[in-house]
Copies of this chain bind each other. A is one copy, B any other.
Amino acid sequence: MFTHILAPYDGSKNADRALEKAAQLAKLTDASISLLTVFRHHSMLEASLSMVRVNDPGRIDDAMREHASGIVAHGKQLLIDAGVANVRGFVRSGRPAREINQFAIKHGVDLIILGSRGLGASGDGYLLGSVSHKVTGLSKCPVLVV
């Protein structure tokens, strides 16, 4: 019933729980999993760090991309250890919800599985994390929020 699952992954505990469900569903339905980590590139980050002025913004992007690659590699290993046969990892920069939905459309994803709150979330309030909310609202395919 599912052939291509997209698992946005930021390394948070909620993302790990979502990954477990993704692994179970992928094995049950013989689906492949695309793992995706999105980092915000420098110009967006700078807006929230107004006291910081950096001489070489390219180096921040490089560092963030490297960090994101490490997160993807970690998630990929978790899925392989869980017995998922077909896993690919991707890193993108930009606005997370938009990148996630664009990836899903472009790659024929038929299920997105993500944690209810990621690293950017504060506290345990009732509101859904903004990324989860935006992805669910924008998505053209079913979204499983774990």
Residues on A facing B (Cβ under 8 Å):
1, 21, 24-25, 28-29, 116, 126-128, 132-133, 136-139, 142-146
The answer on a CB contact under 8 Å between B146 and A142 is: yes
**Count of this chain's copies in the oligomeric assembly:** 2
Q: In the complex, what distance in Å separates the CA atom of A133 from the CA atom of B145?
A: 11
The answer on a CB contact under 8 Å between A136 and B145 is: yes
Q: A144 to chain B: which residues have CB within 8 Å?
A: 142-145
Q: In the complex, what distance in Å separates the CA atom of A139 from the CA atom of B117?
A: 12
Residue of B1, B139, B143 near A24 (CB, 8 A) is B1
Q: How far is the CB of A132 from chain B (nearest CB, A)?
A: 7
| Contact A143:B145 (CB < 8 A) given known A133-B133, A136-B132 | yes
Q: A127 to chain B: which residues have CB within 8 Å?
A: 137
Q: In the complex, what distance in Å separates the CA atom of A29 from the CA atom of B126?
A: 29
Q: How far is the CB of A133 from chain B (nearest CB, A)?
A: 7
